[in-house]
Amino acid sequence: MGERLRERSQELTRAELEIMQIIWSKGACFVNDILEQLPEPKPAYNTVSTVVRILEKKGYVDHKAYGKTHEYFPLVDRDTYTQSFMSNVLDNFFGGSASRMVSFLSSNKNISVEEANEIMEMLKK
């Protein structure tokens, strides 16, 4: 699945990610299911449908057709996307240095020394 992700546009827009979060949590769903999960003010049905079709075109979701109705399901799982996204953040903003990223986070997000050490230990694995 990681190979497929490299062929895709790596980063999702905010709207695409919001919809992907719903698709990931449901596993498979219809546009109406997605719409129900979105916060108020809800976008138009056609807007959600358009974003889902963009995700399909990008290769993140596919569908099963039931007449004119489509059930969408993820082709890329959340962990694979997150790993790819964070790897890009690490490379593009911190020169591939995990310690620089942790330093940035600790100075800007009030991360404790213990949390920073935990992060470094996870990265070593």
3-class SS string, 31-50: HHHHHHHCCCCCCCHHHHHH
Identify the pLDDT of residue 125: 66
3-state class (DSSP) for residue 114? helix
Task: Answer for the pair 90, 96: CB distance below 8 angstroms, yes or no.
Answer: yes
Least confident of 13-17, 43-47, 117-121: 117-121
Global pTM reads: 0.76
Note the pLDDT tens digit of each residue in 10-21: 679 999 999 999
Query: According to CATH, what is the number of the domain 11-74?
Result: 1.10.10.10
As given in the structure block, the two tokens for residue 105 are 């986070």
Q: Answer yes or no: is pLDDT of 96 > 60.
A: yes
pLDDT digits (tens, 9 = 90+) for 50-74: 999 999 999 999 999 999 999 999 9
Q: Mark 82-116 as b/e (b = at least 16 C-beta within 10 Å).
A: eebeeeeebeeebeeeeeebbeeeeeeeebeeeee
Domain boundaries, the chain: 11-74, 78-124
